[in-house]
Structure 1
Amino acid sequence: MELIISNASSKPIYEQITGQIKAMILSGELAEGEQLPSIRALANSLRVSAITTKRAYADLEADGFIETVQGKGSFVSGGNAELIREEQ
């Protein structure tokens, strides 16, 4: 999973992360049940704060795109067909 963060963008970093992950889910690049990188691993690879990636994951979870399983990680939610239709 490759995300591109722009410091020059007017969008906050967490919104850039959220938008790119949503786009990957909607395009089918990230399949249902696929595990996402941990909050800390993603923060390290993007060189941003873990709080920033936590906010992005929280927003994605609130929107129903991902689900977090305590102790296991975050996964692309099942039953996204309705969400995908709504987003498109």
Structure 2
Amino acid sequence: MNIIISNTSDEPIYLQIVDQLKEQIVQGELVESQSLPSIRNLAKELKISVITTKRAYDELEKEGFIVTVAGKGSYVAAINKEMFRETKVKVIEEKMTEAINTAKLVGLTLEELQDMLKIIYEGW
């Protein structure tokens, strides 16, 4: 498990942990039933507060990515990858709708918008 914390990011540290663990789970780097480091061990490893790691684990559990067994630890949950994908596609659609509305507001054509999307997409 590899987590990189950026102190210069605008995103809170607990969300950085959540996002990176979600990505590792969805990509199959962390597999169903795999144990995760204890909250204390992860905090020590990342040199952050135990409260921050607890908040990240609580968020992951709330979203169904991990399960915690009292006295045993936290484990990767079985996730419905298709449902997760559908949720993310909905977020993309909402953001694209916002971008399209802004583009229309400033007079961008569909072709200009497509060119911009292609440049940005290929830059990743």
Structure-2-length-normalised TM-score? 0.67
Structure 1: gaps (5+ residues): none
Larger RCO of the pair (alpha carbons < 8 Å, separation 6+):
1
Match of 2:74 in 1: 74
Task: Kindly tell me the number of residue pairs found equivalent between the two proteins.
Answer: 85
The share of aligned pairs that are identical, in percent, is 54
Aligned-CA RMSD value: 0.7
Larger radius of gyration: 2
Structure 1 runs, 4 residues or longer, greater than 4 Å off: none
User: Which structure: greater helix fraction?
Assistant: 2
Structure 2 counterparts to residues 1-88 of structure 1, below 5 A = 1-78=1-78, 80=79, 82=80, 84-88=81-85
Q: Give me the whole-angstrom Cα distance separating, in 2, the residues matched to 1:23 and 1:64.
A: 13
Q: TM-score, normalised on structure 1?
A: 0.94
